[in-house]
């Protein structure tokens, strides 16, 4: 959840919840912890507690007041008890390793997605992607991959109050980056590291940046061509984190302040192949003037049998009749990527950065102007939004019944 950190001291906040299972209910106190260090009004937080078994309903409670909503139907007002929706934790997974992709908005880089999803499938990974907004043809393509069991698509809702259109700011990412690890399987590699430190709550791999030239059309997409165009940076950067959820007591994955540093295992030799900079064939790629990274010859070797298997897998999906039809409508040039990259660069590194202004602002894309085009239609996550009654110390706002909308446009 996100909590108002400007008007309240949330560092040691407690929440009370009522869990019900149809025959019994139990009041319990949930202790919270702040997740991450972000200078934003709304800070991510996690609260945890135990209620009763076989819970079917969860309500927030404060001084005898539980969350209620006022529902208007025509000219009639109804006051109804409404429990905050919750999801049960997943106990099974389609693959041994789940790769969570940060929320995407105005997503258009389908080439990186295809590269990543097939590499992940080859090495025992399953992509879980959160979407805020995405080009409609790209969304249709992603849905076909979901039908095939390669990926799970989830809503990343734009938080707002039921009585207001004011959004809650959040961090997102429009550039889907691909992580490669060329082993027999991801699980085998991760297990080998956990063998070194069995009690580790997480393991961290450093990453090496790469760029590649992307295909303009799905019909010409080839792993062989991608690999032949791949270039490596000699710079090793801070890496990505792999966790075992039952050992990792946090929802903040990058350097969580709730993790004992001694329990974080840092991998010394192996690095991730981080593919984040896609280049267009017929473009000046002006983005590279800001994103100045020196790339040289590829510093990695790939097993021919892996490339062959990935190529055959791509061919199989590409020849599905519905995918063939979708492919004709996929964007073949960049539009939103350079716009968002320039805005992000200004916010995080440029004139708007705290080092230049001295102002600790909330780093996100809310200030980015997103031009709309008639030939670019987006699918956007949406939901029904509810606000509970005034409660102390917090009033609860939440959403339910998420759906994909064609009417919002290409926005954050």
Q: 122-162 pLDDT, tens per residue?
A: 999 999 999 999 999 999 999 999 999 999 999 998 766 65
pLDDT of 347 over the 80 cut: no
Please state the φ and ψ torsions of residue 376, each to the nearest 5 degrees. -120, 105
Ranges 203-212, 321-330, 331-340, most confident: 321-330
pLDDT of 324 over the 90 cut: yes
- Tell which phi-psi region holds residue 62, choosing left (phi > 0), alpha (psi between -120 and 50) or beta: beta
DSSP, collapsed to helix, strand or coil, labels residue 65 as strand
Residue reference for tokens 């499938």: 121
CA–CA dist 88, 56 (Å, integer): 10
Crossing angle between the packed helical segments 110-122 and 304-318, to the nearest 10 degrees: 120
Are 133 and 106 in contact by the 8 Å Cβ rule? The answer is yes
Predicted local distance difference test score (pLDDT) of residue 236:
87
Are 259 and 249 in contact by the 8 Å Cβ rule? The answer is yes
288, 314, 176: which is closest to 231 by C-alpha? 288
Strand order in the sheet with 25-34: 2-4, 42-48, 25-34, 14-20, 57-62, 65-66
Residue 297 burial (CB < 10 Å; 0-12/13-18/19+)?
exposed
Predicted local distance difference test score (pLDDT) of residue 179:
52
CA–CA dist 289, 279 (Å, integer): 12
Under the banding of pLDDT at 50, 70 and 90, the label for residue 76 is: low
282, 381, 408: which is closest to 333 by C-alpha? 282
Are 149 and 94 in contact by the 8 Å Cβ rule? The answer is yes
Residue 22 burial (CB < 10 Å; 0-12/13-18/19+)?
exposed
The whole-chain average pLDDT of the chain stands at: 83
Residues 262-289 pLDDT 10s: 999 999 888 888 887 888 988 887 777 7
CA–CA dist 29, 109 (Å, integer): 44
DSSP letters, 336-404, are HHHHHHHHHHHHHTSTTSHHHH------SSTT-----BTTB-EEEEEEEEEE----SS---EEEEEEEE
Q: Residue 2 has which token pair?
A: 């996100």
Q: Residue 307 has which token pair?
A: 């490339």
Residues 12-44 pLDDT 10s: 788 888 888 889 999 999 888 887 656 777 888
Residues 285-316 pLDDT 10s: 777 777 778 899 998 889 999 999 999 999 99
Are 109 and 176 in contact by the 8 Å Cβ rule? The answer is yes
Q: Residue 180 has which token pair?
A: 């490669």
Q: Note the pTM of the prediction, 2 decimals.
A: 0.87
DSSP, collapsed to helix, strand or coil, labels residue 70 as strand
CA–CA dist 306, 260 (Å, integer): 37
Mean pLDDT of the 213-225 span: 95
Query: Residue 251 gets which letter from DSSP?
Result: S
Are 205 and 297 in contact by the 8 Å Cβ rule? The answer is no
Long-range contacts formed by 85-92: CB under 8 A, 24+ apart:
85/398, 85/399, 85/400, 86/58
- Residue 216 parent element (H or E): none
């Amino acid at each position: 959840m996100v909590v108002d950190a400007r008007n309240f001291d949330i560092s040691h906040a407690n929440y009370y919840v009522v869990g019900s299972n149809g025959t019994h209910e139990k009041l319990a106190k949930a202790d919270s912890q702040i997740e991450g260090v972000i200078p934003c009004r709304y800070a991510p937080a996690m609260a945890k507690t135990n209620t009763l078994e076989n819970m079917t309903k969860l309500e927030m409670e404060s001084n005898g007041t539980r969350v209620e909503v006022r529902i208007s139907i025509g000219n009639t007002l109804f006051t109804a008890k409404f429990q905050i929706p919750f999801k049960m934790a997943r106990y099974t997974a389609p693959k041994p390793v789940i790769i969570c992709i940060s929320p995407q908005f105005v997503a258009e880089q389908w080439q990186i997605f295809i590269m990543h999803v097939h590499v992940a499938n080859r090495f025992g990974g399953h992509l879980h992607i959160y979407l805020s907004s995405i080009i409609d043809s790209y969304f249709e393509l992603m849905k076909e991959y979901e039908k095939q069991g390669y990926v799970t698509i989830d809503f990343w809702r734009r938080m707002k109050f039921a009585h207001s259109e004011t959004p809650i700011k959040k961090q997102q990412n429009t550039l889907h980056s691909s992580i490669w690890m060329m082993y027999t399987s991801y699980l085998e590699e991760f297990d080998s590291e956990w063998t070194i430190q069995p009690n580790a709550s997480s393991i961290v791999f450093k990453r090496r940046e790469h760029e590649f030239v992307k295909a303009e059309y799905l019909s010409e997409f080839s792993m062989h061509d991608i690999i032949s165009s791949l270039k490596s940076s000699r710079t090793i950067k801070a890496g990505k984190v792999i966790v075992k959820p039952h050992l990792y007591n946090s929802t903040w994955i990058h350097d969580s302040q709730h993790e004992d540093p001694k329990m974080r295992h840092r991998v010394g030799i192996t690095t991730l192949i981080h593919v984040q900079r896609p280049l267009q064939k017929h473009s000046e790629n002006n983005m590279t003037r800001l994103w100045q990274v020196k790339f040289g010859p590829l510093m990695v070797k790939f097993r021919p049998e892996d490339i062959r298997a990935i190529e055959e897998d791509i061919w199989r999906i590409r020849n599905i009749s519905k995918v063939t039809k979708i492919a004709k409508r996929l964007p073949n040039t960049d539009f939103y990527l350079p716009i968002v990259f320039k805005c992000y660069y200004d916010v995080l590194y440029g004139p708007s950065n705290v080092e230049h202004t001295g102002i600790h602002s909330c780093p996100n894309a809310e200030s980015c102007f997103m031009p709309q085009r008639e030939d670019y239609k987006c699918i956007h996550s949406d939901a029904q939004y509810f606000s509970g009654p005034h409660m102390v110390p917090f009033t609860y706002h939440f959403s339910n019944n998420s759906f994909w909308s064609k009417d919002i446009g290409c926005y954050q």
